[in-house]
Amino acid sequence: MICNRTVETKNLNSERSFSAEKMQKVNLFETERMFADIYCLEPGQEQKRHAHSGADKIYLVLEGTGRFHIGNDERELGQDQIVLAPADVDHGVRNESQARLVLLVFMAPNPNTAKSPAQ
Amino acid sequence: MICNRTVETKNLNSERSFSAEKMQKVNLFETERMFADIYCLEPGQEQKRHAHSGADKIYLVLEGTGRFHIGNDERELGQDQIVLAPADVDHGVRNESQARLVLLVFMAPNPNTAKSPAQ
């Protein structure tokens, strides 16, 4: 049992960061096994459709409304709605509203640190 | 690319479930790689301290205030605060307040479906 690490807490309201240039990703926590980010989208910004081999993503809408594409489904989701983009399924989100969109994103495993099978 | 699955969305407010008997866990999403649950604690209820080998947990406080133990750290967290309980680190949470406590919990990998190394 490991008991001597520093415990880090964050506040979702103070971690937000927007840019006129593009959607901002703010990392909250990252391990070999997963990450949690906040995505901040000004009106008109988007995360383009893409897919992750073998990694699941969850989006939770913290503020605003987003238009989500997951597989062949497209729907608007607002505050407190949560959705799963399963591994290998094409997904993306666009802020088509006139207000800011803030998402909590959880992904597992972490594609940034995943070891290849050969390692 | 898989495009024909049914997309499931949930609303955090309508998924809550409390019991006078003990803390309630409501599963939102579950895959081989992770799960997302809502934990609902009446005043005085708790998730006893425990640890997961090789699996990380994130707690987000959706409502109320909880006293979190993570490793040798103990702290109160309120709405919109988020904390990581890293793999192998002892953790638990207790609702010492007079109000309900609601948590969003992510865990990866999923201990309920993890394959043993021998499989």
The number of C-beta contacts closer than 8 angstroms across A and B is: 142
Q: What is the Cα–Cα distance from B109 to B56, expressed in whole angstroms? A: 7
- The model's pLDDT over A64-88, given as tens digits with 9 standing for 90+, comes to 999 999 999 999 999 999 999 999 9
* DSSP string of chain A, one letter each residue: ----SPP-EEETTTS----SSS-EEEEEEE-SS-EEEEEEE-TT-EEEEE--TT-EEEEEEEES-EEEEETTEEEEE-TTEEEEE-TT--EEEE--SSS-EEEEEEEES-TTTPPPTT-
* DSSP string of B42-72, one letter each residue: -TT-EEEEE--TT-EEEEEEEES-EEEEETT
Chain A, nearest residue to B12 by Cα: A80
Residue B38: the pLDDT is 98
Using CB atoms, which residue from B3, B36, B84 is nearest to A90? B3
Residue B4: the pLDDT is 52
Residue B119: the pLDDT is 33
Residue B117: the pLDDT is 47
Q: Is A2 a residue whose pLDDT tops 80?
A: no
CB contact under 8 A, B33 and A56: yes
Residue A119: the pLDDT is 33
Distance (Å) from the alpha carbon of A25 to chain B's nearest alpha carbon: 16
Q: Model's pTM, two decimal places?
A: 0.92
Nearest of B114, B117, B90, B92 to residue B103 by alpha carbon: B92
CB contact under 8 A, A11 and B82: yes
